[in-house]
Amino acid sequence: MEDDLSPGAVSDTVWSARDTTPAAIESALRTLVTDRHRENDAYVAARALNLVCVVDEQFSGEIANRLRRVGRHHASRTVVCSVAPGRTTIDARATVASEADPRPGEFSLMRETVVVSVGERHLPHLARIVDPLVVTDLATVVWSPHGHRRAVDSLVTPAGGARPVAQCILLDSAGEPDQRDALDRVCTLALHAAIVDLGWLRVTPWRERLASHYDPADRRPELATISKVSVRHGADSLVSGLLLIGWLIDRLGWRPAQLTRHGDLLRGHARSRRGEVELRLEPVERMRAPGLSGVEIRSDSGSVLALQRGEGGLTARRSERDGRQRSWTVLGASRGEPGILGEGIRHTLLPDATYAPALAAARRLLA
């Protein structure tokens, strides 16, 4: 794993050791930061968030690339636990990097990265290794893109009722081979920690647009008359589609029934106060990025709102029962997958209270 995760870092200071201990790593980090500040007091340690990444050693380069491209949303201290199956000792490499030489009168942020090479045998007790390495009093988020459930459990639900090292879990529910299993797992984790789900963040622009469309006072009553919701999603993003529908179910007070599979389609119903709402999820092949491709909402009045992913934003089309139709573009630049990861890191400090109920509703759809 390359240890400098800051894009365009102009200077860094490195320490490394083989067969070392967490205490030695922590001491080295403290010295690196202090020395750097002493060298020039315009170097200031960033103090917003700890990020603990648990990755397979063989894919660590790919993860480093992803982290490097998250834009400005870098964690202050990143602890990368690079897992090699047979390893028995702990090696470490710590880097303190700054993105720019400080100009007179200004400061330059320092970000710290520690790559800790561990073996699978260390994972059940990973909290004991990581705990001394995170900055006390900052929120800590764990991201484990290659699985390693024992490591996540150790950090979030430590044995014996000990206080967890991580308070938040960053994950991506898209791409999981078994969606029901994925949702079950997230529901369980959500009992112990805040969840930031990249699959949920991909749904955010769609939620904003639906909220905005139905916000005018004369249109709000339509929310109570919705009769059908169709969601088209990337082949790997069924969970995002389920979360969007779960969100509508929760926010609008519907009672959902389990969806049934018809070939590639998932179909079902929910009960609203006024009647039945038909639900439909359809996969779309060859999408350029994970997430949703389109959402269509019909109401009893005969109006149809269709949102479609497009260049420069979402393309919206509204049709009325009398055949009138209107199209427009809702502006917004694509964040891209690196941007989504950056948003995920940022959202670890901005908990979204609507996620857990949407997740629970999505889970009921697959019961």
Partner 1 sequence: MSVPAHRAEQDNPLTEALERQPVHATALVIFGATGDLARRKLLPALYNLAHEGALPEHFSLVGNARSELSDEEFRESAAASVREFSRREPDETVLEKLFADARYVSGSFGDDAVFQNLATVLPELDEQAGVALNRCFYLSTAPEFFPVIVRQLGTHDLARREDAEVRVIIEKPFGSRLDEARRLNETVLSVFQERQVFRIDHYLGKETVQNVMALRFANGMFEPLWNRNYIDHVQITVSEDMGIGTRAGYYDNAGALRDLVQNHMLQLLTLLCMEPPVDFSADEVRDEKVKVLRAIHPPARDEVCDMSVRARYTSGNVAGVDVPGYLDEAGVPEDSSTETFAALRLEVDNWRWAGVPMVLRTGKSLARKVTEIAVTLKPVPHIAFTGEGSQGVRPNVLVLTVQPNEGVSLSIGAKIPGTRMAIRQVQMEFLYGSAFLSQSPEAYERLILDAMRGDATLFTRNDEVEAQWHIIDPIIAAWQAMSGPPAEYEAGSQGPAEAQTLLGADREWRMI
Interface positions with partner 1 (CB under 8 A): 44-49, 72-74, 76, 105-107, 109, 204-205, 207-216, 220-221, 223-224, 248, 250-253, 272-273, 311-313, 316, 318, 326, 328-334, 345-346, 349-350, 352-354, 356-357
Which of residues 25 and 345 has its CB atom nearest to partner 1 in the complex?
345
Dist CA 271 CA 53 (whole Å): 41
Dist CA 101 CA 220 (whole Å): 53
Which of residues 216 and 323 has its CB atom nearest to partner 1 in the complex?
216
State in angstroms the smallest separation of the CB of 122 from partner 1.
29
Alpha-carbon distances, residue 25 vs 45, 133, 149, 157 (angstroms):
17, 7, 24, 24
Phi and psi at residue 32, to the nearest 5°: -60, -45
The alpha carbon of residue 150 and the mean position of all alpha carbons in its chain are separated, in whole angstroms, by 20
Phi and psi at residue 328, to the nearest 5°: -160, 170
State in angstroms the smallest separation of the CB of 345 from partner 1.
7
State in angstroms the smallest separation of the CB of 344 from partner 1.
11
- How far apart are the two ends of the chain, measured CA to CA in Å? 40
Which of residues 59 and 214 has its CB atom nearest to partner 1 in the complex?
214
Which of residues 124 and 332 has its CB atom nearest to partner 1 in the complex?
332
State in angstroms the smallest separation of the CB of 81 from partner 1.
22
Which of residues 86 and 331 has its CB atom nearest to partner 1 in the complex?
331
Helix (H), strand (E) at residue 111: strand 108-119
State in angstroms the smallest separation of the CB of 105 from partner 1.
6
Biggest distance spanned by C-alpha atoms of the chain: 75
Report the sign of the C-alpha dihedral through residues 357, 358, 362, 365, in that order: positive
Pairing verdict, β 108-119 and 91-98? antiparallel
Which of residues 103 and 163 has its CB atom nearest to partner 1 in the complex?
103
State in angstroms the smallest separation of the CB of 297 from partner 1.
11
Dist CA 221 CA 333 (whole Å): 30
State in angstroms the smallest separation of the CB of 19 from partner 1.
34
Which of residues 20 and 272 has its CB atom nearest to partner 1 in the complex?
272
